[in-house]
Structure 1
Amino acid sequence: MASINIDGMARSTGQSDTREKLILAAEQLFATQGVDGAQTRDIVRLAGQANPSAVQYHFGSRAGLLEEIMKGRQDRVEHALAPRLPELMAMGLPDLLRTLVGAEATELGTERGRCALRISAQVSHQSGIRTRTPHPTLAGGGYWRLFDHIGERLATQPGAPGLPEPVRLERLDLALTLIGAALADRARQYTDGEQPLTDEPFFLADLAGMATALLQAPAPQL
Structure 2
Amino acid sequence: MTAQEMPEQAAPPRSRGPRDTRGKLIRAAEQLFAARGIDGVSLSEIKRAAGQRNAMALQYHFGDRAGLLRAILDKHLPAVDARREVLLQQYEDSGTADLRSLAAALVLPAAAKLADPDGGREFLQIVAELLNRPEPLVEVVVTKGSSIFAWRRLVEPLLAIESTTVLHTRFTTMRFCHAELAARAAARPRRDDRLFTSRLVDLVTALLATPVSEQTARLLHERGPKGQTRQQASAR
Question: Does TM, scored on the shorter chain, surpass 0.5?
Answer: yes
1:12 alignment partner in structure 2: none
TM-score by length of 1: 0.77
Give distance in 2, aligned partners of 1:53 and 1:119: 24
Instruction: Give SS of 1:51's match.
Output: coil
2:30 alignment partner in structure 1: 27
Residues 161-190 of structure 1, C-alpha deviation per residue, up to 9 Å, x if partnerless? x5363345x211111111100001111113
CA contact under 8 A between 1:101 and 1:208: conserved in structure 2? yes
Please, which of 95, 101, 125 is the counterpart of residue 107 of structure 2? 101
Rg (Cα) greater in structure: 2
How many residues end up aligned between the 2 structures? 190
1:181 alignment partner in structure 2: 179
Residues 49-98 of structure 1, C-alpha deviation per residue, up to 9 Å, x if partnerless? 00222211111111101011012221121232243232232351111101
State the AA in 1 paired with 2:164.
E
CA contact under 8 A between 1:93 and 1:154: conserved in structure 2? no
Gaps of 5+ in 2: 1-17, 216-236
* Structure 1 residues 163 and 114: CA distance shift in structure 2, 3 A: same
Counterparts of residues 126-205 of structure 1 (less than 5 Å) = 135-137=141-143, 139-155=144-160, 162-163=161-162, 165-168=164-167, 170-190=168-188, 200-205=193-198
Percent of aligned pairs with the same amino acid? 34
Give distance in 2, aligned partners of 1:134 and 1:108: 19
The Cα shift of 1:118 comes to 0.5
2:67 alignment partner in structure 1: 64
The Cα shift of 1:205 comes to 1.2
Q: CA RMSD in A?
A: 2.4
TM-score by length of 2: 0.72
Give distance in 2, aligned partners of 1:41 and 1:213: 44
1:10 alignment partner in structure 2: none
* Structure 1 residues 78 and 87: CA distance shift in structure 2, 3 A: same
